[in-house]
């Protein structure tokens, strides 16, 4: 096996953010500042395995959100207030233009506290060195926090009174809480008497995010935006599990939040129905959009992580905005991905009969961007929906997988398929009749994604909140990148991210198909598939760490977003 094959054999991606080596988890403090994109992230500079006491903040910069240069670590556990790890946090740009890091440190007694750090040279466009002042911790752990759960401060925002605020996750007397702190100087903080949100059923939340969204339109808003026409999104991560969000009303006078779907997080929406955690957003002033990052960890075994020398990737950055229904977010890969597009193949007006399989050939599909619109001529063939299925779409996807014939569906894509089809991942839709409307189920099935017995091969699923009766069609976009597959259904209203480890991909080519296993035909009204080039992402010894100016960080042209509906 040659070097390139060994590289891909270990699942390394071509255009997703990942370290050249060692462990990475939560994204921290993403921002656009003075012409440069920055991404900080939880990083173990000493090896490829998770070690709470050795966590630092890795730091990479970019001009286009696609190509990244590694600048080393911004924070390391070197002080009494973070001696057992520099944990997750955020970066806020103050009114005078200075960025400040706010982060959780686990101190020498392993107690979680909140700290600040300032750039040593604020005029350095790459923000390479940071100073941790002796006033830390700026917020000791409160007496009513239980379980030592007090972490992950959000990006701060300015309230109507000119004071800064941030939210932080905490277990308060056994109740999962999101606390608000206020400060005039970012050093002296006072806790608000009432939590922003509490969840008695879940004692431990992580990685909160509170950000504004425009009631109408797709443009993002600065984190401090508020007032008429502005709603807010509260996102919480269930510890080592999933990310949930709700749209609601935030009042910065009382620091209260009223979620539109109620306080029970179990009724909130999922950021992603697949394998994704710790999502964190930032306002991109360069293109007036809100951009989401999220950690996607490995699902192979620990010995594989040690052998390849690195662990963890980030989902490809997504622009997000509020859907016209005012209840759900739309997520879409940032338009800069188009700069990687190479060869293209197109399929128009193809009819896929029941049991049909149509290969999309002519491009390398191990790193590809596929957009397709499926048309369903006869919705009346859809199966009857059982309301009990609403509680567990993942279980429904497993019971009614791609091999189980339905009326309208399953239909969709087969990706990362070996020549003998022994390895394959399916992304598909299935329609059901529900009262006088239809329910759309979206699934990603990994049960045959790899012949490795020890590989994690679940089935993921979620419902897509779209009105298919109106247009009789549904869209799907799928990003394929060796060991990660990200799918966006219904124009980005439902997202599913998966890690896959097909053994054939190390030495041979993969295949891409459109398929239909419903009893009725479906039509591919339009399919476009692009082979994607390989980005430069934290490549070791490439000379980029010596960057002196953001002008030499690769910049992509300002291109219009290509969005297939």
Catalytic site residues? 26
Q: How far apart are the first and last CA of the chain?
A: 42
Tokens of 363: 């491009």
SS3 (DSSP) at 302: helix
Q: What is the DSSP letter of 557?
A: -
Q: Give which of 166, 240, 167, 152 is closest to 202, Cα–Cα.
A: 240
Closest to 194 (Cα-Cα) out of 180, 176, 210: 180
CA distance 37 to 317: 12
Nearest CA-CA partner of 258 in 267, 248, 266, 268: 248
How far apart CA 322 and CA 341 sit, in angstroms, is 27
Got the DSSP string for 73-128?
EEE-S-STTTTT-EEEEEEEE-TTS-EEEEEEEE-TTS-EEEEEEEES-TT-TT--
Q: Which string of DSSP letters, residue by residue, matches 354-387?
A: TTEEEE--SS-TTEEEEEEEEE-S-GGGPEEPPG
CB 28 within 8 A of CB 40: yes
User: What residues have CB less than 8 Å from 49, skipping those under 6 apart?
Assistant: 23, 302, 305, 306, 311
Asked if 405 and 513 count as a contact pair (C-beta separation under 8 A), the reply is: no
SS3 state at 130: strand
Measured distance CA(565)–CA(562) in Å, rounded: 10
Length of the chain: 565
Look at strands 425-434 and 437-445 and give their pairing: antiparallel
Q: What is d(CA 332, CA 342) in angstroms, rounded to the nearest whole number?
A: 20
Q: Other CB atoms closer than 10 Å to residue 20's CB: what's the count? A: 14
Q: Residues 372, 527: contact at Cβ < 8 Å? A: yes
């Amino acid at each position: 096996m040659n070097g390139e094959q060994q590289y891909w054999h270990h699942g390394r991606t071509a255009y997703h953010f990942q370290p050249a080596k060692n462990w990475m988890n939560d994204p921290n403090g993403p921002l656009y500042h003075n012409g440069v994109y920055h991404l900080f992230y939880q990083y173990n500079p000493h090896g490829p395995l998770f070690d709470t006491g050795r966590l630092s903040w890795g730091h990479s910069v970019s001009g286009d959100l696609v190509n990244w240069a590694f600048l080393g670590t911004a924070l390391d556990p070197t002080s009494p207030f973070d001696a057992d790890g520099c944990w997750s946090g955020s970066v806020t740009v103050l009114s005078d233009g200075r960025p400040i890091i706010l982060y959780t440190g686990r101190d020498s007694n392993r107690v979680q506290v909140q700290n600040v750090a300032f750039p040593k040279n604020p005029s350095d466009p790459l923000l390479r060195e940071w100073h941790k002042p002796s006033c830390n911790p700026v917020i000791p752990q409160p007496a009513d926090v239980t379980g030592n759960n007090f972490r992950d401060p959000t990006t701060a925002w300015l309230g109507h009174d000119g004071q800064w605020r941030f939210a932080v996750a905490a277990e308060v007397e056994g109740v999962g809480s999101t606390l608000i702190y206020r400060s005039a100087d970012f050093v002296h903080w006072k806790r608000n008497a009432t939590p922003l949100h509490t969840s008695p059923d879940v004692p431990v939340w992580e990685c909160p995010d509170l950000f504004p969204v425009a009631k109408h339109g797709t443009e993002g808003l600065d984190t401090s935006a508020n007032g008429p026409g502005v709603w807010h999104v509260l996102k919480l991560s269930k510890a080592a599990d999933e990310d949930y969000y709700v749209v609601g009303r935030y009042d910065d006078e009382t620091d209260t939040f009223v979620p539109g779907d109620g306080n029970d997080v179990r009724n909130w929406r999922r950021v992603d129905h697949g394998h994704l955690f710790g999502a964190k957003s930032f306002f991109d002033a360069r293109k007036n959009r809100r951009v989401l990052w999220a950690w996607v960890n490995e699902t192979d075994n620990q010995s594989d992580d040690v052998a390849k020398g690195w662990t963890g990737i980030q989902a490809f950055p997504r622009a997000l905005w509020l859907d016209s229904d005012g209840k759900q977010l739309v997520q879409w890969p940032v338009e800069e991905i188009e700069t990687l597009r190479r060869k293209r193949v197109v399929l128009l007006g193809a009819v896929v009969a029941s049991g049909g399989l149509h290969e999309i050939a002519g491009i390398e599909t191990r790193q590809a961007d596929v957009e397709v619109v499926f048309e369903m001529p006869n919705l009346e063939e859809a199966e009857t929906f059982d309301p009990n299925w609403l509680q567990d779409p993942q279980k429904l996807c497993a019971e009614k997988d791609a091999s189980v014939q339905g009326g309208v569906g399953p239909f969709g894509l087969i990706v990362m398929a070996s020549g003998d089809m022994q390895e394959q991942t399916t992304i598909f839709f299935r329609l059901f009749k529900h009262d006088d409307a239809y329910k759309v189920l979206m699934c990603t099935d990994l049960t045959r994604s790899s012949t490795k017995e020890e590989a994690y091969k679940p089935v993921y699923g979620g419902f897509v909140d779209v009105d298919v009766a109106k247009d009789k069609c549904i869209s799907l976009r799928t990003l394929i990148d060796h060991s990660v597959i990200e799918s966006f259904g219904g124009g980005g209203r439902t997202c599913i991210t998966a890690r896959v480890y097909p053994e054939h991909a190390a030495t041979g080519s993969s295949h891409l198909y459109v398929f239909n296993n419903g009893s009725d035909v479906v039509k591919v009204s339009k399919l476009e598939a692009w082979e994607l080039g390989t980005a430069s992402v934290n490549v070791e010894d490439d000379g980029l760490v010596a960057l002196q100016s953001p002008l030499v960080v690769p910049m992509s042209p300002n291109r219009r977003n290509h969005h297939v509906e």
